[in-house]
Amino acid sequence: MRIATWNVNSIRTRVGRVTDWLQKSNVDVLAMQEIKCKPEQFPVAAFESIGYQVTLHGLNQWNGVAFAHRIEAQDVEIGFADMPGFGPELAQEARAIGATFDGVRLWSLYVPNGRALGDPHYDYKLEWLDRLAAASAEWLEADPGLALALMGDFNIAPLDSDVWDIHDFAGATHVSQPERQAFEAFEQIGLADVVRPLVPEGYTYWDYQQLRFPRNEGMRIDFILGSEEFAERVVSASIDRDERKGEGPSDHVPVVVDIR
């Protein structure tokens, strides 16, 4: 089974790029983030025309998560237990969707950005990650042999080498110690980055501004974190850097794994 994650940064803007990539990449299940649309606005027909079903969670023009899949989606779940919300009414955002594909439990996740240290969104980000880790621990405690993968845009660069110049990030989000500790919490409960052992270097995101991509001033913030059962089944992995090239790309690129 070939599985991928991709922050598409508006599926309506990039439907052609995403469907073209699916056809040439032969991916069975694609987890998407930042689809930025309601269910009735998603270009489902374009995916169905190339043999994919779509399972999604979108509320408005912000956030939104989805799966495009050639394998039936089972046990679909919107959000996770006690997932926090944000804003005056603490409304839950469209940031998490889970489904099982041929016995493999996948989550498409769009972790809050955090915006700035000291911003309420930063506290929201840390709370959101803490609750996700707690929920993941509960899933694995209930089923220690579960083939589980958390996939998506984590908005965290766990290592200094995951940004082009750590000195440029002094006092910024994505690299702060609390965020990195929140990321490490997933390892402590038995989830591991299944891509880095096979692809030790490479970024997954380049900002549109300041010629970041031509200068290769990127960040590694998109991950596939797998349980022991999932990790043992991984046979290959890649970061498709070429998808940042050309006309109208997302600022993120696909991250891909093959599992037995």
CATH, range 2-259: 3.60.10.10
From 71, 189, 184, 94, select the one nearest 135 (Cα to Cα): 189
The share of the chain scoring above pLDDT 70, in percent, equals: 100
Q: What is the pTM of this model?
A: 0.98
Q: Is the pLDDT of residue 63 over 90?
A: yes
Instruction: Provide the pLDDT for residue 98.
Output: 98
- Would you place residue 88 in the very low, low, confident or very high pLDDT band (cuts 50, 70, 90)? confident
- Would you place residue 68 in the very low, low, confident or very high pLDDT band (cuts 50, 70, 90)? very high
Q: What is the mean pLDDT of the chain?
A: 98
Instruction: Provide the pLDDT for residue 70.
Output: 98
Domain boundaries, given as residue ranges, for the chain? 2-259
Q: Is the pLDDT of residue 115 over 90?
A: yes
- Over residues 214-233, mean pLDDT: 98
- Over residues 1-6, mean pLDDT: 98
Q: How far apart are CA 61 and CA 210, in angstroms?
A: 26
- CA distances, 16 to each of 6, 96, 203, 251 (Å): 14, 24, 23, 15
| pLDDT tens track for 176-205 | 999 999 999 999 999 999 999 999 999 999
Residue-wise DSSP of 24-69: HHT-SEEEEE---S-GGGS-HHHHHTTT-EEEEE--SSS--EEEEE
Q: Is the pLDDT of residue 233 over 90?
A: yes
Place of tokens 């987890």: 31
- Over residues 124-140, mean pLDDT: 98
Residue 188, φ and ψ in degrees, nearest 5: -65, -25
| pLDDT tens track for 155-180 | 999 999 999 999 999 999 999 999 99
Instruction: Provide the pLDDT for residue 229.
Output: 98
Four-point Cα dihedral 68, 105, 186, 225, nearest 10: -50
Instruction: Provide the pLDDT for residue 239.
Output: 98
Instruction: Provide the pLDDT for residue 103.
Output: 98
- Over residues 119-131, mean pLDDT: 98
| pLDDT tens track for 8-57 | 999 999 999 999 999 999 999 999 999 999 999 999 999 999 999 999 99
Q: How far apart are CA 77 and CA 148, in angstroms?
A: 14
- Would you place residue 213 in the very low, low, confident or very high pLDDT band (cuts 50, 70, 90)? very high
Residue-wise DSSP of the chain: -EEEEEE-S-HHHHHHHHHHHHHHHT-SEEEEE---S-GGGS-HHHHHTTT-EEEEE--SSS--EEEEESS--EEEEES-TT---BTTTTBPPS-EEEEEETTEEEEEEE-----STTSHHHHHHHHHHHHHHHHHHHHHHH-TT--EEEEEE-----SGGGBS-GGGGTT-SSSSHHHHHHHHHHHHTT-EESSTTT--S--SB--SSTTTTTTT--B--EEEEE-HHHHHHEEEEEE-GGGGSSSS--SB--EEEEE-
